[in-house]
Copies of this chain bind each other. A is one copy, B any other.
Amino acid sequence: MAKRGKINQRQRILEEAAKLFKSKGFAGTSMRDLGGEVGMEAASIYNHVKSKDEILESICFYISDTYISQLAEVEQTATPYREKIETLIRQHIRLMLEEGAAVSVANNDWKYLTGDKLTAFKDARKRYEHGFAALIEQGIAAGELQPVNVSVALFTILSAVRWVELWYRPGRGVSADELEQNILTMLLNGLAK
């Protein structure tokens, strides 16, 4: 019984799929494309994976699970709200740098999920957004944050960090730490002097 090879190959398939989905989209990527990247025939992929849809599901829920558990952790920590939000922003940026392709898929290709999975993913996202929004709201109520519209603040933050993955290339001018620091400055202190 050689089971160890199987999970490694499955992992490799998921990783290559994430890269392809990111650059060509889920619908624009064929199983033959994926096979070519992994180094096997399209049909052989089915030894490791149930379907093309299952690949997408694995990628999307891996990311949403990560976000949800990061949020839960921050919620339980006893720190000022401003610090909680700073931590969440940092975690977003880091996940983006570490799992860029998967995050991109979860952000852009989740719409190709179907049935229960689509519902579950949307629910997870809503749960995350509500939790994050609650922290901002409490931060404003506590006087730690500006009394800006909560939804606008939430989505400005989520949007601003989300695109790191699209344009940031490490080693080219800005280091990861500088990136974090600059984004935090922008979001927390603003561009104006």
Contact = CB atoms under 8 A, between A and B. Distances in A.
A85 interface: yes
Contact of A25 (B27, B144, B189, B190): B27
Contacts of A23: 111
Contacts of A161: 159
A112 B25 CA distance: 9
A149 to B, nearest CB: 4
A162 to B, nearest CB: 6
Interface residues of A, number: 48
A112 B155 CA distance: 27
A64 to B, nearest CB: 16
27 contacts: A25-B26, A25-B112, A27-B28, A145-B191, A145-B192, A146-B191, A148-B186, A149-B174, A149-B182, A152-B179, A152-B183, A153-B182, A153-B186, A156-B186, A156-B187, A158-B163, A159-B160, A159-B162, A159-B163, A160-B160, A185-B190, A186-B187, A186-B190, A187-B191, A188-B191, A188-B192, A189-B189
Interface of A: 23-28, 82, 85, 108, 111-112, 136, 143-146, 148-149, 151-153, 155-164, 167-168, 173-174, 178-179, 182-183, 185-193
